[in-house]
Chain A
Amino acid sequence: MKSNKNTLKVFAYSYLIFLYAPVLLLPIFAFNDSTIISFPLNSFTFKWFAGLTQETYLQESLKNSLFVAISTSILSTCLGILASRASSRYEFFGKKSILSFLILPLFLPEIIIGVALLVVLMQLGLPLSLWTVILGHTLVCTPFSIAILNSAFANMDMSLEEASLDLGETRFGTFKRVIFPMVSPGLIASLLIGFTISLDEFIIAFFLTGTETTLPVYIWGQLRFPAKLPGVMALGFLMLLLSLILLLLAEFFRRRMNRTTDDQVNVQFGNLFKHDKKT
């Protein structure tokens, strides 16, 4: 038994090392004063980071990426709101299968989505641009938004909305004063996750981008020049940091959302303890 447990431990640790060691190389070489990416390390430097500020193409693609990521996160969150509101409040034919199909892009290989979208866009005669990238990214991010927002809407007790209407508030006022504040942690989590996914998505962006490139596509282009490699490392490190911060923020808001809706549910459990009375 004991040796079995140890084997599992070794397996788990080696798995973690395999998973994260390459990522850890990123910051190491980002601060290494050498154009060749290999050990032993040279002296410590910030020059690759300083070099990033000189690259106009980089700044251009960063701007593009931010534009795409922001648009994608807003679009997918809006679609997510519609889908999860419908699924939590209404019963309709084929609800379950429709929801499954909406979640499906989560499990499709991105390259397939990318190629398929490219073919469709070509057939439609639409020129490739940042908008086509946004379209592709929205397709990938919407399932995440639905998954997050579904729990936000489903956790909300229907009688809260009814109570608001009952107290004289209009439907729009109810949305503004009750629904929106209650699901807003979920909305923020959905926006942040959509932004993060879109920011470092490469395959779809690679297929659907026109003349303007996004950051990951720019990095891919830079990899052809060995001299640029340390700069890419520095850039990658910054993106890693940004993604990490955004994901932590998203998780923070998701948990806060669950906390505020939890005590709603607890009250109703009180019914289970109804006493029997003698007559």
Chain B
Amino acid sequence: MIKLMYNLVIYLNMTKKLKTDSKKIIVELNGVVKHFGEIVALDGVSAQIREGEFFSLLGPSGCGKTTLLRLIAGFEQPTKGNITIDGFQMDGVEANERPTNMVFQSYAIFPHLNVEENVGYGLKRLNLGKDETARRVDEMLNLVDLDNYNKRPAHALSGGQRQRVALARSLIMKPKVLLLDEPLSSLDKNLREQMQVELRHLQRSVGITFIFVTHDQEEALTMSDRTAVMFEGQIVQIATPQEIYSRPKSKRVASFIGVMNFIEGQLLKDGDQNTTVDAGILGNVKVNPDQMPIPLNSGPVTIGIRPEMLTLLIEDQDRTEFEIGGVILEGAYFGDMTNYTVQVKGLKSPLTISMRNTAGRRVLEDGESARVGWGADSLVILNKS
């Protein structure tokens, strides 16, 4: 691990010039539509991906995220719309002529070749000569911490090693954009978490734009600069992980990424600076415009609040901005955290509250009555439905 970091620092210095203007748009998607017969896989996707960013496509399976990646790679052509990479229109440009490389979900390591032949596969067409090819392959193997694996046959590699070979094989081509199709999904939990960190560091150090497809929301949040959330062939929100988590644009995004409590309410508007929301039993609360990810008019709305934004006030002297009484239905103990389900009188469904088990804080019993504390700025106002 430490060695890998060290290698990355060296590589970083070598490729510093790659990190240029970070505002430059490297991949642009313009109303991309893709049909497979009757099935609409992508339904008008537009997005701009900046040079050098770690951009992830997040969504449940079947949402079209892999199709979008394959369109960028050039394995499929869009039915409508167009894709621009590094300023060039990609209409009719084949995969082998695009400045992109892909890490496949299955890794697609050539089984009849050894590690060095796999990594050097794409260099062969460049006619670099034996020495230069060998030098670059060694450099890449060093980068992914597989020194001296040159002659190892493909079938003798573990899952994590295959992934490193797949990465090295793509990075050696010095792509403008590296496309990764759920590359961590087949690794076990520990290795996956380790690779998340390594991949993130690798991306930062080589400065290549990564477009990373995943259905694991935690993975997307921890790794990306920006994330696009996709449902049913459409991008519903593109934002930084923090923004997506704290200011989701819809109920669907909110419940796909983490857990959120929903309360029915009414929006009362009196000019943008003076908006209040009637949260029923929780009372009337003044809200800021930035708590509404999409502008809303007066009328029924859904109010969202994350479980960790709610507090159980255990000691008598504990105070928050607002509080309300409830009864603990169930506590699920996770060691560092306890997740409570709390019934509050006047609310249709119970609230989920997650509390850190900090020093001196006791775990509440089922059936115990409790005071639920919260703050106005932790609410997010969403469209009803």
Mark A residues whose CB is within 8 Å of B. Answer: 157, 159-160, 162-170, 173, 177-178, 181-182, 260-261, 263-264, 267-268, 270-271, 273-275, 277-279
| Among listed B25-33, B103-111, B139-147, B287-295, interface-contacting one | B103-111
Flag whether B186 is at the interface (Cβ < 8 A): yes
Bound CA span A170–B217, Å: 37
Flag whether B320 is at the interface (Cβ < 8 A): no
Chain A residue contacts of B188, Cβ below 8 A: 273, 275
A157–B108 CB distance below 8 A: yes
A167–B122 CB distance below 8 A: yes
Bound CA span A278–B218, Å: 10
Flag whether B11 is at the interface (Cβ < 8 A): no
Cβ-closest chain B residue relative to A161:
B108
Given A159-B106, A261-B111 in contact, is the A275-B121 Cβ separation under 8 Å?
A: no
Chain B residue contacts of A273, Cβ below 8 A: 188
Bound CA span A271–B334, Å: 26
Bound CA span A182–B154, Å: 13
Bound CA span A263–B106, Å: 11
Chain B residue contacts of A157, Cβ below 8 A: 106, 108
Chain B residue contacts of A274, Cβ below 8 A: 185
A181–B112 CB distance below 8 A: yes
Chain B residue contacts of A267, Cβ below 8 A: 106-107, 159, 162, 186
Cross-interface CB contact of A268 among B100, B124, B186, B218, cutoff 8 Å: B186
- Apart from A267-B162, A267-B186: 14 A-B pairs, beta carbons within 8 A: A159-B106, A160-B108, A160-B110, A162-B95, A167-B122, A167-B169, A168-B97, A168-B173, A169-B124, A170-B96, A177-B121, A263-B154, A275-B189, A277-B216
Bound CA span A166–B175, Å: 11
Given A167-B101, A167-B122, A270-B186 in contact, is the A264-B106 Cβ separation under 8 Å?
A: yes
Can you identify 7 A-B contacts, CB atoms within 8 angstroms?
Answer: A162-B73, A164-B121, A166-B170, A168-B173, A267-B159, A275-B188, A278-B334
Chain B residue contacts of A181, Cβ below 8 A: 112
Chain A residue contacts of B97, Cβ below 8 A: 168
Q: Tell me how far the C-beta of B106 lies from the nearest C-beta in chain A, rounded to whole angstroms.
A: 5
Bound CA span A260–B111, Å: 7
B125–A163 CB distance below 8 A: no
A279–B259 CB distance below 8 A: yes
Chain B residue contacts of A264, Cβ below 8 A: 106, 111
Mark B residues whose CB is within 8 Å of A. Answer: 73-75, 94-97, 100-102, 104-108, 110-112, 121-122, 124-126, 154-155, 159, 162, 169-170, 173, 185-189, 216-218, 258-259, 334
A263–B101 CB distance below 8 A: no
A165–B106 CB distance below 8 A: no
A167–B111 CB distance below 8 A: no
Cross-interface CB contact of B218 among A159, A166, A271, A279, cutoff 8 Å: A279
Cβ-closest chain B residue relative to A173:
B125
Q: Tell me how far the C-beta of B335 lies from the nearest C-beta in chain A, rounded to whole angstroms.
A: 11
Given A159-B106, A163-B110, A274-B185 in contact, is the A168-B96 Cβ separation under 8 Å?
A: yes
Q: Tell me how far the C-beta of A99 lies from the nearest C-beta in chain B, rounded to whole angstroms.
A: 22
Cβ-closest chain A residue relative to B107:
A267
Bound CA span A159–B258, Å: 33
Cβ-closest chain A residue relative to B73:
A166
Bound CA span A178–B112, Å: 8
Q: Tell me how far the C-beta of A33 lies from the nearest C-beta in chain B, rounded to whole angstroms.
A: 53
Chain A residue contacts of B107, Cβ below 8 A: 267
Cβ-closest chain A residue relative to B219:
A277
Cβ-closest chain A residue relative to B97:
A168
Bound CA span A268–B185, Å: 10
Bound CA span A242–B102, Å: 48
Bound CA span A2–B125, Å: 68
A263–B111 CB distance below 8 A: yes
Bound CA span A169–B110, Å: 14
Q: Tell me how far the C-beta of B356 lies from the nearest C-beta in chain A, rounded to whole angstroms.
A: 14
A169–B159 CB distance below 8 A: no
Chain B residue contacts of A182, Cβ below 8 A: 111-112
Bound CA span A162–B111, Å: 14
Chain B residue contacts of A275, Cβ below 8 A: 188-189
Given A167-B122, A168-B173, A273-B188 in contact, is the A279-B94 Cβ separation under 8 Å?
A: no
B186–A271 CB distance below 8 A: yes
Bound CA span A279–B107, Å: 28
Cβ-closest chain A residue relative to B155:
A263
Bound CA span A166–B177, Å: 12
Cβ-closest chain B residue relative to A268:
B106
Which of A167, A170, A278 is the most central at the interface, judged by chain B CB atoms within 10 Å of its CB? A167
Bound CA span A9–B105, Å: 50
Chain A residue contacts of B334, Cβ below 8 A: 278
Bound CA span A239–B187, Å: 53
Bound CA span A278–B259, Å: 10
Bound CA span A163–B186, Å: 18
Q: Tell me how far the C-beta of B307 lies from the nearest C-beta in chain A, rounded to whole angstroms.
A: 9
Which of A159, A160, A163, A263 is the most central at the interface, judged by chain B CB atoms within 10 Å of its CB? A163
Bound CA span A173–B334, Å: 55
Chain B residue contacts of A278, Cβ below 8 A: 334
Bound CA span A221–B125, Å: 58
Q: Tell me how far the C-beta of A159 lies from the nearest C-beta in chain B, rounded to whole angstroms.
A: 4
B173–A167 CB distance below 8 A: yes
Chain A residue contacts of B101, Cβ below 8 A: 166-167
Bound CA span A268–B94, Å: 26
A163–B218 CB distance below 8 A: no
Chain A residue contacts of B112, Cβ below 8 A: 181-182, 260
Given A166-B96, A167-B101, A168-B173 in contact, is the A159-B108 Cβ separation under 8 Å?
A: yes
